[in-house]
């Protein structure tokens, strides 16, 4: 299944905050969206998921497996979200319900979209916790979000996104709030899901060093527009747009070099 975005625009209060964005995520691909804060990258992700804030209006085209998502009835869109396209949010602490055990939240998409009963959902939660590398899975699933570390909560978020067995995962800055060591573990986990599980990935970030480790192609956004696009290797070696060159300088300031690690 492929995602094709063409001339996507998002308006909020009469202001166009995403303007004519186009890109593709072919089946099995790892595609990135990168830009500074306010560039429109997260709104692009939310438009794909049908989760734009109240008052935001999307136009253009978002086609998933040949189906147009813009203008699709909410009920039909909800059947795609979680089952065919999963999302990992930037802040797991706010994405997770603080008064529900994480095992219930991890298996929710499976209960909704795959008609899994409660007993099987509990077993699935343990399997998902194990798959994403959470320690003591049987114990973790009975925990509440506040009882876990930031990295563990993010792994719970990844497990929840995978529960419905989606073909595409949209990851919105999933490593931003994590320290470098934990961040690397999350990147390795996501890369493994794509290469080993046949899942396509759309990865949103402001960090070119992070993008280099996870994506092969990317678009660079500035003020809601595509400033540059192409293979990540080319963006690293020969950036054409000033905003891309600035992102590369920021990456180098973290002691990262193309071909190395941060």
CB proximity list for 157: less than 8 A, separation 6 or greater: 88, 89, 92, 95, 96, 174
Name the range with the highest mean pLDDT among 100-104, 118-122, 154-158: 100-104
* pTM to 2 decimal places: 0.89
Structural domain tally of the chain? 1
Q: What pLDDT, in 10s, does the model give residues 2-16?
A: 999 999 999 999 999
Q: Is 73 contained in some domain?
A: yes
Q: What is the CATH number of the domain that holds 67?
A: 3.40.50.300
In the sheet with 56-64, reading across from the earlier edge strand, the strands are 15-25, 3-12, 56-64, 67-68
Q: By percentage, how much of the chain surpasses pLDDT 90?
A: 65
Q: Is 64 contained in some domain?
A: yes
Question: Is 80 exceeded by the pLDDT of residue 37?
Answer: yes
Q: Is 34 contained in some domain?
A: yes
According to the model, what pLDDT value does residue 115 have? 80
Q: By percentage, how much of the chain surpasses pLDDT 70?
A: 96
Angle among Cα 12, 96, 215 to the nearest 5 degrees reads 70
Average predicted confidence (pLDDT) for the chain: 90
Q: Is 246 contained in some domain?
A: yes
Q: Give residue 39's domain range.
A: 1-84+202-262
Q: Is 99 contained in some domain?
A: no
Q: Is 105 contained in some domain?
A: no
């Amino acid at each position: 299944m492929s995602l094709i975005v063409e001339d996507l625009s998002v308006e909020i209060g009469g202001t166009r905050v995403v303007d004519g964005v186009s890109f593709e995520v072919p089946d099995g691909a790892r595609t990135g969206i990168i830009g500074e804060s306010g560039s429109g990258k997260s709104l692009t992700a939310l438009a794909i998921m049908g989760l734009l804030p109240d008052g935001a209006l999307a136009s253009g085209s978002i086609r998933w497996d040949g189906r147009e998502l813009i203008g699709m009835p909410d009920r039909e869109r909800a059947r795609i979200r979680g089952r065919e396209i999963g999302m990992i949010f930037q802040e797991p602490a706010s994405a997770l319900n603080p008064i529900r055990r994480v095992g219930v939240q991890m298996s929710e998409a499976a209960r909704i979209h795959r008609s899994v009963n409660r007993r099987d959902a509990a077993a699935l939660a343990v399997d998902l916790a194990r798959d994403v590398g959470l320690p003591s899975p049987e114990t973790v699933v009975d925990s509440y979000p506040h009882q876990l570390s930031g990295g563990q909560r993010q792994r719970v978020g990844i497990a929840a996104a995978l529960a419905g067995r989606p073909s595409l995962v949209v990851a919105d800055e999933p490593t931003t709030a994590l320290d470098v060591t934990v961040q690397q573990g999350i990147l390795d986990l996501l890369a493994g899901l794509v290469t080993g599980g046949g899942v396509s990935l759309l990865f949103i970030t402001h960090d070119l060093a992070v993008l280099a480790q996870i994506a092969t192609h990317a678009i660079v956004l500035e003020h809601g527009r595509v400033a540059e696009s192409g293979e990540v290797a080319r963006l690293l070696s020969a950036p054409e747009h000033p905003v891309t060159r600035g992102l590369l300088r920021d990456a180098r300031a973290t002691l990262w070099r193309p071909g190395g690690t941060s």
